[in-house]
Amino acid sequence: MTSLLPRWRRHATAAAVAAAMALSALLGTSPAPARADAAPVAFTNGFGLTQVGTPEVHSSTDFTITVTTAQLAGTHKIRIFLPQGYAANPTERWPVAYFLHGGGGTVDDAAAAPALHSDAMITVVPDGGLKGWYADWAMQNTALGAANWQTFHTTQVVPFIDANLRTIADRAHRAVLGLSMGGYGALHYAEARPDLFGHTASLSGGIDFGMAEVRAAVLATELNVTGAWCAVSTSSPAGTGRCTGYGPYVDSDAIFGSPYPVFNADHIWNALNPADPANLARLAGSDITLYSGNQLPIDHFTEIASGTVKTRLDQLGIPSRYVDYGNGSSLSPTCDGGHDYGCWSAAFADYMPRLAASFAAAG
């Protein structure tokens, strides 16, 4: 029956199984039979990550580990959703989707979009910080200390997951997707590391640093501007009231340097702008999807940013899919076209089956 499965779901080679048996013998242990009710939370440390504390097991296919790294101050969570068939089929390998949460959010926000927990893939949700912006910060001596978020995610978390879970470790079977702040991170990571990610999706993303409004959103998080802005810009599920701010105040130049376009002072912003044609050109051969509503006060601007990216991709001859759902009526009864999970959950319900089909088509 395994011949009926796509190649990314077929059994690992006998050599791989033999290697696992040999390693178990070397360690003086025997491979334990897979348990349908147990999540694989005893990961092996590596790639600069050390697992600490007690894992949070939400179910047999949903658990959270905590790690430390020299790249970031403090401890950081990684939530993992496994497909239902993971434990029952111990020799199958799976594609991976990395979900990047929004500003003011946490790894647990992913539970607000049930489609992210797919039986066609592993979904990994790494901590992105309240205002990490998926960047290696220009300043490392702020109240938050070490803040190399891009290095943490792309050079530590990805290989760590590949080493500890049965993934298919190539770009054709690896995606990065995110919303709001994470929508920036998803498109930026796909551009910065096309060798890692062959699929990307940005939902209501701050993906054009050429827009003063997008730069202002970053500054608001640096300066910990709360109130109404926090309520509509957090990735926390609507109505939870969990957004209490963006953490300690940091300098307005802390993440991307000076935001002011005077004497090239904003050169970091320009270099990391996902909408820059030179960066977009790096997405050739990638599967690209954009979503945005257009309702005030935020998605009005994310619609403009997404439209700019779509137009420039078209000019470069790079195929992409853009879903502008406007006031939300075309997407879902739960969506009002705003910056919230009423829209994002529905967008992921549309996107994840498409991503699964793309993974399957890759072989």
Residue 108, burial from CB neighbour count under 10 angstroms (0-12, 13-18, 19+): middle
2-361 carries CATH number 3.30.565.10 = no
Confidence (pLDDT) at 233: 47
Sign of the Cα torsion 133, 137, 138, 141 reads positive
Tell me what pLDDT residue 224 has: 87
Query: What is the model's pLDDT at position 183?
Result: 97
**Where are the chain's structural domains?**
2-361
Question: Please, are residues 91 and 12 in contact by the beta-carbon 8 Å criterion?
Answer: yes
SS3 353: helix
What predicted TM-score, i.e. pTM, was given to this entire model? 0.88
Q: How far apart are CA 99 and CA 55, in angstroms?
A: 19
Q: Is the dihedral of CA 116, 121, 122, 126 positive or negative?
A: negative
Sheet of strand 287-293, all strands in order from the earlier edge strand to the far edge? 50-59, 62-69, 72-81, 122-126, 96-100, 174-179, 199-203, 287-293, 321-326
Tell me if 98 sits within 8 A of 153, measured CB to CB. Answer: yes
Q: For position 243, what pLDDT does the model report?
A: 57
Mean pLDDT in consecutive groups of 10 residues from the start of the chain, 363 residues = 38 36 30 48 91 94 97 98 94 97 93 97 98 98 98 98 98 98 98 98 97 94 70 48 75 97 97 98 98 93 98 98 98 95 97 98 94
Cβ contact 345:112 at 8 Å:
yes
